[in-house]
Structure 1
Amino acid sequence: MFRRITAVAALVGVPAFVPAVAWAQATGEVVENSGDTAWILMASALVLLMTLPGLGLFYGGLVRAKNFLSVFIQVGAIAAVASVLWVVVGYTLAFGDTSMNGWLGGGQHWMLYNLDVVYPALEIPESTFALFQMTFAAITPALMVGAWVDRARFSWVVLFCAIWGLVVYAPVAHWVWGGGWLSALGVLDFAGGLVVHTTAGVSALVIAVLLGRRQGWPKTAILPHAPGITMLGAVLLWVGWFGFNGGSALGATASASNAIINTHLAASMAALMWIFIERVVFGKPTTVGFATGAIAGLATITPAAGFVSPGMAILIGAVAAPVCYYAIQLFKMKMHIDDSLDVFAVHGVGGMLGTLLLGLGLSAGLGGAGYDTIGAGSMGGQLGVQALAVAVIAVFSAVATALIAVALNLFVPMRVSEDEEVQGLDITSHGERGWEFD
C-alpha cells in the first residue's frame, strides 16, 4: 500500500520530501499500516496456537488416558466448524452494521462479502480484522469442552457448538465489540472477559448440570492421567495469550505492549498464589495447581489487559487465584456440580471478576486509562455498567444454552451410553487409543 501511494504521488507531482502517508491522509486516501497488519496476523496465529495444541494438551492431560484423543478431536472439530460458520454468517452477525436497536449485526458481510480494504478507524485490512476475530470465535466454544469430558456424545458436541456460536457468541460480540447496545452504555471488555469467558463459563456450567455427573464421581476420585501434558498445554496457552490480549489492541502500539506485560504479570502472580494456597492447604504445590492458577490469572486480566497499570495487573492476579480456587471448592466439592475441568470456576468466574475489577483499575489514580477518556465517565458509572453487562450476558448465555442443549437432545442424545463411558470415548467414539503399549 505504501509503495502504491508513493507511485501515485510521483505521478501527480507531489514534492519528493512530502511523506507518502501524510499526503495520502491529507487527500483522504485510506492507508494500510503494514506493521499493525503484520502484528494482527501474528496475533491470530498465536490465538490459534492456544486453541489446537494449547487447549487440547491442557485438557487432554487432565482427563483419563482412555479419553485423551476424544478431547483433541472435540477441540479440533469445534474450532473447524466455528471457523467456517464465522466466515459464512458469524462475522456479519457480530460486526455488521448494528441493527435491531443494537442487538445484532446486519447482513452486509455474508461470506465476508463487501469488506472494506482498510477497517474503519483502524489501519489494518478488514480481512485481517475478520481473521483475528475468527480465532476468538473458534476458541470460545472449545473452552466448554472441559465441562463435559468423558461423557458427551461427539456428534452432539459439534452440533451444539455450531449453533451456540451463532446464537450466543455472535450476538454478545456485537453487543460489546460491534457497536451494540452494551457498547453504547460504556461497557468495556478489552479482550473477552465478557464475550469469551463469561459466555463460555456460564454455558459450561449449564451443560454440566444438564449432562449429569460422570459415573462414580464424586465417590471415586477421577485423577489427571498426565499432569506433565497439562503443564505443557498451559505454557502454550500462556504464550498464545499474548496474541489474545496484545492483539486486541488491534495495532502494534503502546496499548499492545501494556496488554502483554499485564497479561504476563497477572498469570505469574495467580500461578504463585495458587501454589501457595496448595502449600497451605495440602502441604505440597502441584504442577496442575500452577497451570490452573496461571489460566485463572490469564482469564481474569483479559477484560482489563489494555486499560490498567502493571501494578493493578499484579493485584488482579493475586485476587484471581483465591477467588477461582474457592469457586472450585463451592461448585464442585460442595455443590457436586461435575464441571469436570472447572471451566466455570476458572474461566467464567475469572472473566466476570476481571470485568468488575476493570471498573476500579480504570482509575487514572491507579495508573489506568482514566474514566474521562473511555467508558461510562466515572468509577461508579463504570462499575454499574460492568455489573449490568455481567448479569445480562450470564443470564442470556444460561437461558440460550439450556434451550439449545435440550432442543438438540431431542434429535441427538447428549450423553454416551454407560458402557461407552466405561470403555472410554477414544475407542468407542473414534476407534483409536491415545496410548498403545505392546
Structure 2
Amino acid sequence: MLPGISTLAAPAPDLSAANTGFMLICSALVMLMTPALAFFYGGMVRVKSTLNMLMMSFISLGIVTVLWVLYGFSVAFGTDIGSVVGWSGEYVGLSGIGLTELWDGYTIPVYVFAVFQLMFAIITPALISGALADRVKFSAWALFVALWATVVYFPVAHWVWGAGGWLFEMGVIDFAGGTAVHVNAGAAALGVLWVIGRRVGFGKDPMRPHSLPLVMLGAGLLWFGWFGFNAGSWLGNDDGVGAVMFVNTQVATAAAMLAWLAYEKIRHGAFTTLGAASGAVAGLVAITPAGGSCSPLGAIAIGAIAGVLCAMAVGLKFRFGYDDSLDVIGVHLVGGVAGSLLVGLFATGGVQSDAKGLFYGGGLEQLGKQAVGVFSVLAYSLVVSALLALVLDRVMGMRVDEETEVSGIDQAEHAETAYDFSGAGGGAAARRGVPAPDAPAASVPHKAAPGTGRSTAQDPAAQDTAVQDTAAQNKKVDA
C-alpha cells in the first residue's frame, strides 16, 4: 500500500426486517414440505401402510430438530475443520448466539439462517423413506434417521454449503440442494435397499396407490412449499436472484410435468394423475441446484429433460430387481444428478455467479466441477447408508416379519389404521347388522380378489366389487 493512502472497511450490513421476515416465511414453507411429502408418499402406498408412511416423514421433524440444535448446525455450518466438517462451540445448543447477531455477510440473524437450514435437514432423510415402504420397523427407522443425519447429512451440507467445505471451495454450484438433498437421499435409499431387500410379492402382486387424490394433494403442497425451498436459498431479496429462482422453479416444474405426461402417453397410452404428480416433483428436484444459474428458457429445457429421464428411470427397478417402492431413486437420485450436471451446460454466468456452462461459452470446466460434486456425494452416501443399515439390521433387525408385512404394518407398528368406518351407516340395514352401502371393504367380509389370492382389503378393484355386492344385499334386506 502506498504511504499516506488508507482504505476504509466496508460497512457491516444492518439487520433487514424485510429479509428476516421473508426468510421466516420461507422457513415455514420448507417445513410444510415434510407433511406434504408424507401425504404424497402416504397416498402412493396400500391402505395397510398409510400411517406408517406418514409417520416415517413426521418422525424426522422431531429427531432432526433436536439433533440440529444440539450439534447438527455446528457440524454443518461451524468453523471449517479440514474442509470436511465444521464446529463452533457457540452453535452447540444454539446457546452462544446473540439475539441480533447476523449471519456472516447477510442481513438476517443467525437464528433465522439456522432454522431455515434446519428444514432442509428435516426433509432429506424423510425423502429416503419412500423407497422403503411397507417393510421397515419404525424403531429401526427412527434410529437410522438419527445416525444418518449425523454422519451423512450434516457433513455433506458442510461440503456443499459451508464456508471452507471442499465442494464449496471448488466452486460446485448447488443453489438449494441438488447434491446435498436429492442425490444424497436417493443414493442413501439405494444403499439401504441393498440391505433390506424387496417387499413380499414385489413384481407379482399389484401394489397400486390407495389414494391418488392424497398423492395430488401432497404434490401440490410440495410445489407450493418448494418456492420457499428454492427462492429462500439466496437468503434475501435485494438483488433479484431469488426472484429469478422463483420463476425458474415454476417454469421447470411445469415443463417436467408436461414432458413426463407426453412420455407416458407415448409409452403407455394414457395421461395419469400419478404421472402428473411425479413429473412435477421431478422438475422441482432438477431445478433445485440449477435454477439460480440459468435463464427461464434454460429452466424449460432442464425441466423437460428431467421429466423424460425420470419417467424412464422409474421402470429400471423392474429390470434390475431393486424394490424402490415409491421411486425415490428414479425421481430424486436421477433428477438430482440431471439437474446438477445440467448446470454445467445451462449456466448463463449472469445470475448467481459468473460461472458459465458449455452452451454459454464456458467450456467443460463447470460441468467437470458439477460431476465431482455429484458423484462424490453419491458414493459417500451410498456406502455409508448401506453400512448403517447393515449394522442396524444385524443389531436389531431393520425389517418387520413377513406376517406383519402381509397383514399390514400400520396395526403392528402403530396400533391404528388409517381409515375407520366402523361407525358409518345407519337405518334398517345397520339395525339388522348388515354393513352400510357406503362402507369400505374393510367393513365387509374379505373375499379373495379374483386371480390374485389377495383379500379385498388389499386390492382396490376388489374392494369396489365388494362394496357393490354389499349395497345390493342391503337393498334386498330393506325390501
Task: Work out whether the TM-score is over 0.5.
Answer: yes
Q: Which amino acid aligns with 1:76?
A: F
Match for residue 74 of structure 1 among 56, 67, 88: 56
Does residue 224 of structure 1 match 2:205?
no
In the alignment, which residue of structure 1 is the partner of 2:130? Answer: 146
Distance 1:81 1:368, change over 3 A: closer
Matches within 5 A, 1:36-435: 36-52=19-35, 54-99=36-81, 101-108=82-89, 109-115=91-97, 117-179=101-163, 180-253=165-238, 254-330=240-316, 332-364=317-349, 369-371=353-355, 378-435=362-419
- Whether contact under 8 Å (1:362, 1:368) holds in the other structure is no
User: Distance between the aligned counterparts of 1:282 and 1:187, measured in 2?
Assistant: 38
User: Distance between the aligned counterparts of 2:80 and 2:375, measured in 1?
Assistant: 22
For structure 2, the 5+ residue unaligned runs are 1-7, 423-479
Q: Which amino acid aligns with 2:286?
A: T
- Whether contact under 8 Å (2:348, 2:356) holds in the other structure is no
Q: How much does 1:333 deviate? A: 1.9
User: Distance between the aligned counterparts of 2:172 and 2:374, measured in 1?
Assistant: 10
Q: How much does 1:437 deviate? A: 2.3
User: Aligned with 1:102: secondary structure?
Assistant: coil
Q: How much does 1:288 deviate? A: 0.4
Q: How much does 1:27 deviate? A: 9.2
TM-score, L = length of structure 1? 0.90
User: Distance between the aligned counterparts of 2:197 and 2:210, measured in 1?
Assistant: 22
- Whether contact under 8 Å (1:297, 1:320) holds in the other structure is yes
- Whether contact under 8 Å (2:242, 2:292) holds in the other structure is yes
Deviates more, 1:278-287 or 1:63-72: 278-287
Coordinate RMSD, CA, aligned:
1.8
Count of residue correspondences? 407
User: Distance between the aligned counterparts of 1:175 and 1:64, measured in 2?
Assistant: 38
Q: Which amino acid aligns with 2:322?
A: I
Q: How much does 1:308 deviate? A: 1.0
Q: How much does 1:372 deviate? A: 7.1
- Whether contact under 8 Å (2:241, 2:352) holds in the other structure is no
Q: Which amino acid aligns with 1:256?
A: G
1:303-333 Cα offsets, whole Å, 9 max, x none, are 0111111110000011001111111122x12
Q: How much does 1:115 deviate? A: 2.8
User: Distance between the aligned counterparts of 2:406 and 2:155, measured in 1?
Assistant: 38
1:381-402 Cα offsets, whole Å, 9 max, x none, are 1111110111111110011111
User: Distance between the aligned counterparts of 1:85 and 1:335, measured in 2?
Assistant: 36
- Whether contact under 8 Å (1:267, 1:293) holds in the other structure is yes
User: Aligned with 2:136: secondary structure?
Assistant: coil
- Whether contact under 8 Å (2:256, 2:279) holds in the other structure is yes
Q: How much does 1:286 deviate? A: 0.6
For structure 1, the 5+ residue unaligned runs are 1-24
- Whether contact under 8 Å (1:209, 1:338) holds in the other structure is no
1:54-77 Cα offsets, whole Å, 9 max, x none, are 101100000001111111111111
User: Distance between the aligned counterparts of 1:191 and 1:435, measured in 2?
Assistant: 37
Of structures 1 and 2, the one scoring higher in RCO (CA 8 A, sep 6+) is 1
Moved >3 Å (runs of 4+): 25-30, 367-370
Match for residue 31 of structure 1 among 14, 27, 30: 14
User: Aligned with 1:144: secondary structure?
Assistant: helix
- Whether contact under 8 Å (2:45, 2:208) holds in the other structure is yes
Q: Which amino acid aligns with 1:65?
A: V
